Structure 1
Amino acid sequence: MDHRSDTTGTLDEALQRLHGTGPERLGRLTNHAPMAVEALAARGQAGAVHRWLDLYAPKLEEFPASVAPVTEANWPEALGDPRRAADWIAYFERQIAERPWRDVLAQWWPRLLPGLYGGATHPVIRVGHAVRTLEEGDATGPRLSELAHGLGYWAARHSPLAGVSVLPGLHRTAADGLDAVPPIANRADGGFPARLARVEGLPAWAAAVDDPEEARRGLAELVRAATHRYATHGHGEATMLVHAATAPNAVLRALPALPRALWVPSLRAAWTASAAVTAMYAPDEPVAYEPVGELDAEEVFARALAHGDEHVIKFADTALDVGDGSALGAALRAVELSVPLG
């Protein structure tokens, strides 16, 4: 099931509808709607976008108030301040209005990449969806604004991961690396930020990569491995373990719009994010999982849409990028494990 750039105008309508809402709700939870509607449109389900949004609408909050403008002079002090989300979004809207969007992305990607872990990796995932739709379709006003919202959210939630040691050991594949991730202490306690602070050491799977093309291949391998692994490990935490695959896939989706010099650090940050999520939420033991019968990509995505949960839709979208039977089975596993929307 290939990507289908939406030519109906529905995605642009939905994004305009959403840009009056904030990137978060309840002060800490992410607004997933812009990502989910992009996935629906990309998979030929534009006709379902507004119906899905109507179901999700009770979770939306108004756009936050501004504090003070972000400028070229003061941006370092505003970085990582979630109270400044509106200021950051306005800053990026000005930047993208004045310069080509790829130039803005290339300038800010290395500034934002060390803070990939803030907002439970949702900001980079939102940026990845925005970049895909710009790369594959027209750079309309709402789509450019969506990139500004994603980058602004990332800047506001920018949160580096410090003090993590590199664990010795040769892990030839991404799957081996994920299997070698040690769990954090007290896995039953705390939300994402508290758990992230307890990540002490991660395997060095991506550390030796120094070639851009090798980094691109490594990212694709990581996305495939994390997607496959969800089928047997997703029961550890059905929602949060989705991000072990969707966060690196967002980075992979951004690569075509980025200078090749940024591809290697992008792989390393994506590996750290995927491995950290694994450390924080993976179960003690895997379970066997085999989907029943032949799987069809369109049918799998239709089942994700019928289920309606935003993480299930986005994970199915990533599974379709991977495209093999194991990935499609993992998407069905997410349907089974997750609570339906509405």
Structure 2
Amino acid sequence: MNHVPVMLDEVLTALAARGGAIYIDGTFGAGGYSRAILSAADCRVIGIDRDPAVRPVGDDLKRASGGRFVLVEAPFSAMRDVVAEAGGHLVDGIVLDLGVSSMQLDQAERGFSFAKSGPLDMRMSGKGPSAADAIARLTEKELADIFYIYGEEKKSRRVAAAIVRERAENPFTTTDHLASVVAKAVGGKHTKTHPATRTFQGLRIFVNDELGELVRALSAAEQLLSPLGRLVIVTFHSLEDRIVKTFLRARAGLNAGGSRHMPEIERGPEPSFRLLTRKAIEPSAEEINVNPRARSAKLRAAIRTEAPAWPIDISLFPNAPSLSRLEASS
């Protein structure tokens, strides 16, 4: 297996795997983190991935690990149900590597990348509305909001307008068709980043409800981790990192306003996490040189306290179009 996960050494240090413990790799992918955790200690790992294409890799690792590993096909937001169905209650550590995997990007037929022509799909699970459905059915304003909020595309209105004009005559079914229309709409000189990159990112995040999944997963992890259990998360863009940072700082008692001399009842719940580091850990220059995908990665980690889990924080959800709107029109 040639796949090397981003910031592997830093993830293993933060997780501090130990014998007899149970860990969750919530974004199994090519299995790099799971394989390394199993090698680091005589522990058990539950891999979770909603992509059915990773099943053969999971089966191979289960055999190689002597049964210490199991793969479950599910979104990582369902990790509590996954553990409960396995007869468990709490776990000792959870690792999440967010975003699209290199395996998915490399498969043109999945439609995640415009590097090669492929169907405009982008669904990690292969279920539900596709990217082509979103492009065909959503309004110009909804598309512009998706590109601006999820993709952080400054020219989102211009891009959305160009797409709506084009789809009236030529429906979008392939990645290269969409990429060419977006590139013309964005205009200007092309830098190292393709002009359609942000639009594709926004569309992918929307189709897979990635930020909603993240918020629900953070809440689930808070409820699943045993005291002293560790949560380790690697993000790849600012929207993900902002949500993770806000969640962990709040749960560590670092986001509360007002005076520290206020009565306890007014200062909110007891901290449910203790941060391992105040600032995010970033990849080394050596790793970025070997693996350019690592350049935008940030690692945040925290240790669970004995305090009760907090209620899910709906303020973490981005104020952007919801996938339910598209599902309802299917």
TM-score range, shorter chain: under 0.3
Normalized per residue, which structure has more helix? 1
TM-score by length of 1: 0.27
Normalized per residue, which structure has more strand? 2
TM-score by length of 2: 0.27
